[in-house]
């Protein structure tokens, strides 16, 4: 593991994101602007791009712009089957556990919500978390340990959002969010490990955020079983790949 590269990634990530989000938290707490104000939207987006910005600073040390772009979109042959499999599993898990659509979101807006979640509100983070941090950790640590560390840091990275008046995170349990971040980290790390494609992770991340808007999420036995089953399958894919190699 290149400790300096990892430290550089984390310092830039948290510096960019927490500066923007803590500033937004202060502005909304003082009633200077609202969360939906144009400046609030800009600060929120800038914070979300922290991992991507940090990743670029790390990747340009050894790569050209062309090679970075290729690493984002290129993938192993037939490996996208794993993206489709995890996506179908997630849709079924959330859909069957919820069985209630969020009618506040019009159906014709779903494609727009998905594109926004993939490129601006979530998916853009994957260049950093799965494209840089997870691979760096795996040079010295096992896949599960690397996924747990990445997921924990990823969850902690979101903390300032709980202090921004009007953000959706204020309606969520921070502890539950951290647990889900670690579990989701396994799914995304597995997709990246099998596809070697950052954009595949961005698409899955975007799908996850979209599903959270499309359905009324309910914590029940169906959701728990589905989430655990996907987690176990992620570990199995890693273990099977290690054994096979």
What span, in angstroms and rounded, lies between the C-alpha atoms of 46 and 17?
Answer: 7
Domains in the chain, number: 1
Banded pLDDT at 66 (limits 50, 70, 90) = confident
Domain that holds residue 214: 3-244
Taking residue 168's Cβ as centre, other Cβ atoms within 10 Å add up to 11
Banded pLDDT at 77 (limits 50, 70, 90) = confident
Contacts of 21 (CB under 8 A, 6+ apart): 43, 44, 47, 160, 161, 164
pLDDT of residue 243: 61
pLDDT of residue 239: 82
pLDDT of residue 136: 96
Residue 244 has pLDDT above 70, yes or no: no
According to DSSP H, which parts of 35-142 are helical?
38-48, 50-59, 65-73, 80-98, 110-119, 126-128, 134-138
pLDDT of residue 121: 96
């Amino acid at each position: 593991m290149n400790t300096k590269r990892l430290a550089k990634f984390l310092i830039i990530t948290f510096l960019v994101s927490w500066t923007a989000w803590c500033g937004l938290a202060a502005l909304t707490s003082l009633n200077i602007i609202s969360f939906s104000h144009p400046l609030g939207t800009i600060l929120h987006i800038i914070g979300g791009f922290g991992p991507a910005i940090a990743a670029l600073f790390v990747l340009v040390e050894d790569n050209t712009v062309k090679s970075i772009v290729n690493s984002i979109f290129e993938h192993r042959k037939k490996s996208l089957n794993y993206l489709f499999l995890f996506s179908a599993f997630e849709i079924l898990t959330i859909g069957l556990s919820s069985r209630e659509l969020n009618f506040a979101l019009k159906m014709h807006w779903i494609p727009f919500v998905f594109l926004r979640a993939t490129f601006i509100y979530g998916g853009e983070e994957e260049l950093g978390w799965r494209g840089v941090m997870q691979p760096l950790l795996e040079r010295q640590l096992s896949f599960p340990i690397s996924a747990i560390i990445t997921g924990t840091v990823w969850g902690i990275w979101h903390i300032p959002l709980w202090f921004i008046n009007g953000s959706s995170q204020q309606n969520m349990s921070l502890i539950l969010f951290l647990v889900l971040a670690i579990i989701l980290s396994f799914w995304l790390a597995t997709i990246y490990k099998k596809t070697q494609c950052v954009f595949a992770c961005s698409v899955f991340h975007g799908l996850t955020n979209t599903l959270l808007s499309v359905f009324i999420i309910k914590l029940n036995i169906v959701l728990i079983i589905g989430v655990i089953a996907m987690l176990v399958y992620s570990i199995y894919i890693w273990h099977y790949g290690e054994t096979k190699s």
